Amino acid sequence: MAAEVLNLERLVDFVTPIAEYVTPEQNVLQPVWDFVRQGPWGEDALRSPLFPVVMSVAFYFSCILPFMIIDLWGKEWHWTKKYKIQPDKEVTWPMVRNTMVITFWNHLLYVMPSAVGQYIYTPPTPLPPVSPGLWEFTWHIGASLIIFDFQYFAWHWLHHKVRFLYKHFHALHHQYHSPFSWVTQYLHPWELITVGILTTINPWLFNSHCFTIWVYMLISIAVSVEAHCGFVLPWSPIHWVPFGLYGGAIKHDLHHQRPYSNFEPFFCIWDRLVGTEFTLKDRQRAIDRREKIEYDGHDGLVGREMKKFN
Ligand SMILES: [Zn+2]
Ligand SMILES: [Zn+2]
């Protein structure tokens, strides 16, 4: 009984600051949250610590599979050629199989055990009856993305700058100079775990509503798959984010071509500030100067690039 009272108090503490801003009738997200909370999957499934993991993994594979089909069987489709960033680079079945094998091993050896650990040690997620307010929802997600963008920029820069870190951890991800969707999580376990932790912790800083956290996780996955898909899609934020501040597929594709550039995962703020931004125009200028564009990170050319950019 005492434990129930304690839990209720915690729930009220959690809900009160949210409810102070807006009533359920005023809140535009309330119908969405009610639908999620009362859906056929049941509240117990949503409360389970396994839910965010299962949701993320299912969403990740549902994002990359359509691109895999296009890469393997849609090479001659008109729009495939129109939107592909490096149309001369073909994605073959051995490339897909290789990245698929590493991805599945990573899920089997690291993602699943961490999910089981969470299932055992993490308490059920409280489901507040009130949804987050639209403003709180937007700024929590925006701030979490901006913070992660900087965290990954620093992580990524360090893992190119320090040769040991590059060679032993990050070089695997750079095996392909023309990214395709399966490359998104073609990662050394160190990168999978450290970057996974960075992605997860940010909404905790704001004590975000669980609905906000889940949507943030889905957006992070969608953006990271978009960055590796190899296509500039008509609905990509690159078409509407002003001043070229969205990194997306083009910038990350260029990063895979020229590794000591475009370190940010989502935006292009810090790269611009520190002078590591590399655009399609820069690429064309480099081609005109007959510079080598593609670098193989395994043979030390990254070191030469560092001197060039330092
Ligand atoms: Zn990448
Ligand atoms: Zn890199």
Query: Which pLDDT tens digit goes with each residue over 135-172?
Result: 999 999 999 999 999 999 999 999 999 999 999 999 99
pLDDT reported for residue 293 = 60
pTM of the predicted model, to two decimals?
0.82
Dig out the tokens for 130 from the structure.
Answer: 């009130």
Is the Cβ–Cβ distance between 180 and 229 less than 8 Å?
yes
Is the Cβ–Cβ distance between 260 and 305 less than 8 Å?
yes
| Tens digit of each residue's pLDDT (9 = 90 or more) over 190-233 | 999 999 888 888 888 888 999 999 999 999 999 999 999 999 98
Dig out the tokens for 90 from the structure.
Answer: 């073909």
Average pLDDT over residues 233-257: 90
Distance 258 CA to ligand 2 centre (A): 9
Output the furthest CA–CA distance in the chain (Å, rounded): 76
Distance 76 CA to ligand 1 centre (A): 25
Ligand nearest to the CA of 155: 2
Ligand nearest to the CA of 305: 2
> Which residues partner with 301 through β-bridges?
none
**How far, in Å, are 12, 32, 86, 181, 191 from residue 250 at the CA level?**
46, 33, 10, 14, 22
Task: Provide the mean pLDDT of the chain.
Answer: 84
Average pLDDT over residues 124-128: 89
What's the structural domain count of the chain?
Answer: 1
Ligand nearest to the CA of 158: 2
- 266: CB partners within 8 A, 6+ apart: 145, 148, 149, 223, 227, 246, 247, 248
> In terms of residue numbers, what domain contains 225?
2-309
| Tens digit of each residue's pLDDT (9 = 90 or more) over 250-301 | 999 999 988 889 999 899 999 999 999 998 888 888 777 766 665 544 433 3
Dig out the tokens for 25 from the structure.
Answer: 């009738």
pLDDT reported for residue 26 = 67
Distance 215 CA to ligand 1 centre (A): 22
Ligand nearest to the CA of 224: 1
Distance 170 CA to ligand 2 centre (A): 7
pLDDT reported for residue 207 = 87
**Residue ranges of the alpha helices (H) in 168-269?**
189-205, 210-228, 248-257
Please tell me which residue, 255 or 8, carries the higher pLDDT value: 255
Closest CA to 15 of 178, 105, 161, 132: 132
Distance 256 CA to ligand 2 centre (A): 7
